[in-house]
Chains A and B, each alone.
Chain A
Amino acid sequence: MTLTNIRNQSKVRNFSIIAHIDHGKSTLADRILEKTKALTSREMKEQFLDAMDLERERGITIKLNAVQLKYDRGGGDEYLFHLIDTPGHVDFTYEVSRSLAACEGAILVVDAAQGIEAQTLANVYLALDNDLEIIPVINKIDLPSADPERVKQEITDVIGIDGDEAILASAKSGIGIDEILDQIVEKIPAPEGNPDEPLKALIFDSLYDPYRGVIAYICVKEGSVKVGDKIKMMATGKEFEVNEVGVFNPKPVQQDQLTVGDVGYLTASIKNVGDSRVGDTITLANNPAPEPLPGYRRLNPMVFCGLYPVDADKYNDLREALERLELNDSSLQYEAETSQALGFGFRCGFLGLLHMEIIQERIEREFGIDLITTAPSVIYKVVKTDGEEVDIDNPSFMPDNQSVQEVQEPYVRATIMVPNDFVGPVMEICQKKRGEFQDMQYLDDNRVNVVYEIPLSEIVYDFFDQLKSQTKGYASFDYEMVGYKVSDLVKMDILLNGDTIDALSFIVHRDFAFERGKQIADKLKTLIPRQQFEVPIQAAIGNKIVARTNIKAMRKNVLSKCYGGDISRKRKLLEKQKEGKKRMKMVGSVEVPQEAFMAVLKMDDD
């Protein structure tokens, strides 16, 4: 029996789970899958929804999944659930909002000891924006440090829904799961919409499969869609013919059609995820809906960096890797660029820092290409003295200081939730990051919500690390773009052995220029190994040197320890040294390791 035999629209429930990392989202999802018998125990992989290796390692969900489940309340009272997973990181806010738009309700999971975090709050607001019914769940109540009463109060005060209604649960121990399933039925409304109207299906994710082309994850809001239908993407206008529709249980299962309330997938020989954009509406080409579903946005990258192969011969491999990744990731942008120091590579745009790290890691891991990554940058808007306006996403292309009339940089509104004791340090970091204080609210006796407007460039520059270390990991953080502001910014050049290294240039506020120039020179000194000759490092604004230091010449590198007949160990040592060299880039006459190009990010300010 296929689950869609239950075709009573009033018995369908579409929902997501909203939770902070480690608050138990995946475990709860696993429990729900078990209870609804979606998986036999043999198929049950721990945390089924997080499929990608990288996701598992980082404990976060990047790609969304949707599972169809049958829930039997007894006596033939059967319900069809669609559980739609959401990514848990600020870089993917838009994707979260689209997957929430596919739902009528959301389970809000809050850790009984830790309480609400900034990220969760941001996602709850997204859910409320989408008019979702929220079912609060206080998880991990069996922990010794659990304080459900405090968390209930917090839910009431901070989110504005009645915390006393929260279900006390422990996904790990299976406590409260039945009650959650009951409330899904009772509280979350069935999807509205009319199966006889023209088709409107929301794309909330899409991924590329080498055999089937793009697989679009959709939620049918109006009408229905079946194999053979001619469909049209309402934002891009592209038309395709449907090859297959189906649902996940959690394995893909083909269906004859998908109709109102169904959440599943669709394939139509779509060659590029760019033609199946998250948030777009699918309709029928010959019976189109008058207007698309609301909320579609074209996502623009916010963070940029240069990616270069360590081995110049791998340039084409890198291009292919980016092409392959782009198939699956319409928010990844790249274009070829050339650096005097690093040769041929690509300037790439990402939604945020995590997105950037994930892409870099996948290129290195899945495609086996050693990368040199330049420090991330944002897009600066530069007004030149001749009135011309240019967008600069690569610091080395910043026009000379004398031809610049004005530079604008992007600002974000940063929301930081932190225990009382750490408010001082948090404000200090924000001030140091050129933040402008906006607001501060006490969430309860112990926790404070601090809001600042901060330049995005300061966020990409070790803000997370500092926040984490200064608050012992207790702060949680979220941000959204608020627009551009004029800033007094200058371009800092770095010279190695007298040569300007374009890939090391960065843009900095004039007030911090000297300090940061000195920091980066000192940092580079620790990162670049001794060479055969002394190497001066200089930081310069225009022609003015603001900091200088030297890497002393190498004096001795020969194994002169007593190793006896242990030749294997000698070999290993030499291999290690040689491997280290391979990962370095010859820049002019200096061998520079990969990490040096990210040095601007990894600074210990103290």
Chain B
Amino acid sequence: MVSSVYIHIPFCEKICHYCDFTKFFYEEKMADDYLIALENEIKTNIQESKKKMKTIFVGGGTPTALNNRQLTKLVKMIDFYFDVASVEEYSFEANPGDLTEDKIRILKDHGVNRISMGVQVFDDEMLEQLGRLHRVKDVYQNVNDLIKVGIDNISIDLMYSLPNQTIEHFEKTLDEALQFDLPHYSAYSLQIEPKTIFYQRYKKGTLTKPPEEIEADMYELLRREMRNKGIKQYEISNFAKPGFESKHNLTYWNNDYYYGFGAGSHGYLPGERIINIRPFPTYVEAANETGKPVLHVEKIGKKEQIEEEMFLGLRKSEGVSIPKFEEKYQVNIEEVYGNELAQLEEKGWINRNTTFIKLTEEGKPFGNEVFQSFLLDRDIY
């Protein structure tokens, strides 16, 4: 049963220096072509109208880089194929600066009930260094507008471990972000990825990241400040007031199925993870011709499912439910992971009782060390 859908809008006014997602400079004609191709992909895969979904997430790129006409077309398209009225959480990603009051109204009028904003830092100079177009004042404007129009389920994304960022810088950003008293925050550490401007500079030696100590201190500070404000960490990088955890993002961590539509998007359906074509012309051509612009399908057998159940589930603060796990896979967790669990427990990185396995607070910064223990060397049938 697939009850979540992700839709990728790969356009941006400007490309951020760190971004390695599928994205293209916005051009009106390209975006028009893209929306046609996207609709054909959705139509081919959904094959009905008003399909029931629990969550919809429109991300990018920057969905709000579309102009008003295109944005209207997009939300109407979504409204046609999915039963927006019964969707529990319908999120749009937005860039401060792109998000005008008109666009907010278009979204609101078509059922969007949550906005996730890429704020990154409250520091104009650092925004410039990241290659961002927006400035701090835009964030204030957008939040005001969103609340005025009636969307108050707002999340903002922050980034840390940035070049030249000190603990004090990050603390200032955190404080300013928390003043908005929003129901949801995400905070991501910078990864320098190939095919980005940062990567080029990093290789040349003109760009450095803060050392691991500073990154770890920032992560600690982040968790402490959130805790002090009563905003609960429910995932490695996500924090929310009770009841405002992102239902769509939980789809990923709960290892549930989701459609992925659009260039470079990822979907997960029973037995397979589907990776879409990234380049614009190839995606558009394939989506128009076959409706299945798929680059690659990865088969997910029982072994992979079990591994993913663990390394995704443990990202959540609530951890992995043992009874659910054993029921879902018809295996005894002790038989599959007995040694690993004992070792991790001894290191103090996980906690477990009869119903749950979870990362300890000490274990959270070492998540990858824990997660990789659950990759199996043998197959499971």
Contacts and interface: CB of A to CB of B under 8 A. Distances in A.
B268 A570 contact: no
B267 A557 contact: no
Contacts of A299: none
B273 A567 contact: yes
B133 interface: no
Contact of B372 (A532, A562, A568, A578): A578
B65 to A, nearest CB: 17
Interface in B311-370: 311-312, 347, 364-369
B212 A568 contact: no
Nearest to A530: B212
Given A555-B215, A558-B367, A574-B372, A565 B258 contact: yes
B308 A557 contact: no
Interface residues of A, number: 25
Contacts of B178: none
B268 A554 contact: no
Nearest to A561: B191
A575 interface: yes
A552 B237 CA distance: 25
A529 B265 CA distance: 34
Nearest to B373: A578
Interface in A512-557: 530, 532, 552, 554-557
A559 interface: yes
Interface in A569-603: 570-571, 573-575, 577-578, 581
Interface size band for B: 35 or more
A556 B275 CA distance: 29
B17 interface: no
Given A554-B212, A565-B6, A566-B266, A559 B367 contact: yes
A568 B366 contact: no
B211 to A, nearest CB: 9
A554 B369 CA distance: 11
Contact of B260 (A532, A562, A565, A578): A565
B213 interface: yes
A40 interface: no
Given A567-B273, A567-B312, A568-B266, A555 B216 contact: yes
A555 B213 CA distance: 6
Contacts of B308: 567, 571
B252 A565 contact: yes
B191 A556 contact: no
Contacts of B364: 558
A555 B218 CA distance: 11
Nearest to B255: A567
Contact of B371 (A565, A566, A568, A574): A574
A560 B185 CA distance: 13
Contacts of B213: 552, 555
Nearest to B118: A562
Interface of B, helix, strand, loop or mixed by DSSP: mixed
Given A564-B266, A568-B275, A556 B372 contact: no
B188 A556 contact: no
Nearest to B186: A562
B188 A561 contact: yes
Which of B252, B260, B307, B372 gathers most chain A CB within 10 Å?
B372
Contacts of B258: 565
A559 B252 contact: no
Contacts of B365: 555-558
Given A556-B215, A577-B372, A567 B266 contact: yes
B219 A557 contact: no
B189 interface: yes
Given A554-B212, A557-B365, A568-B273, A562 B157 contact: yes
Nearest to B190: A561
Interface in B243-272: 252, 258, 260, 265-268
A560 B266 contact: no
Nearest to B364: A558
A582 to B, nearest CB: 9
B226 interface: no
Interface string A484-513: 000000000000000000000000000000
Given A554-B366, A575-B375, A568 B215 contact: no
Contact of A559 (B298, B304, B368): B368
A567 B272 CA distance: 11
A504 to B, nearest CB: 25
B236 interface: yes
B311 A574 contact: yes
Nearest to A573: B368
B291 interface: no
A60 to B, nearest CB: 32
A215 to B, nearest CB: 41
Contact of B189 (A560, A566, A567, A571): A560
Contact of B59 (A557, A564, A574): A564
Contacts of A552: 212-213
B266 A581 contact: no
B4 to A, nearest CB: 9
Contacts of B298: 568
A577 B312 CA distance: 16
A555 B365 CA distance: 7
B188 A562 contact: yes
A599 to B, nearest CB: 22
Nearest to B253: A567
A564 B6 contact: yes
Given A562-B237, A567-B273, A557 B312 contact: no
Contact of B347 (A532, A555, A564, A575): A532
Contacts of A566: 266
A578 B367 CA distance: 13
A108 B240 CA distance: 78
B161 to A, nearest CB: 9
Contacts of A557: 365-369
Contacts of B188: 560-562
Contacts of A570: 311-312
B338 to A, nearest CB: 18
B42 to A, nearest CB: 16
Contacts of A571: 304, 307-308, 311, 375
B144 to A, nearest CB: 25
Contacts of B273: 567-568
Closest 5 CB pairs of A and B: A558-B367, A555-B216, A556-B216, A578-B372, A561-B191
Given A554-B366, A561-B188, A565-B267, 4 more contacts: A557-B368, A560-B189, A568-B275, A571-B307
18 contacts: A530-B212, A552-B213, A556-B365, A558-B236, A558-B365, A559-B191, A561-B189, A562-B186, A565-B6, A565-B265, A567-B252, A567-B268, A570-B311, A571-B307, A571-B308, A574-B368, A575-B372, A577-B372
Interface of A: 530, 532, 552, 554-562, 564-568, 570-571, 573-575, 577-578, 581
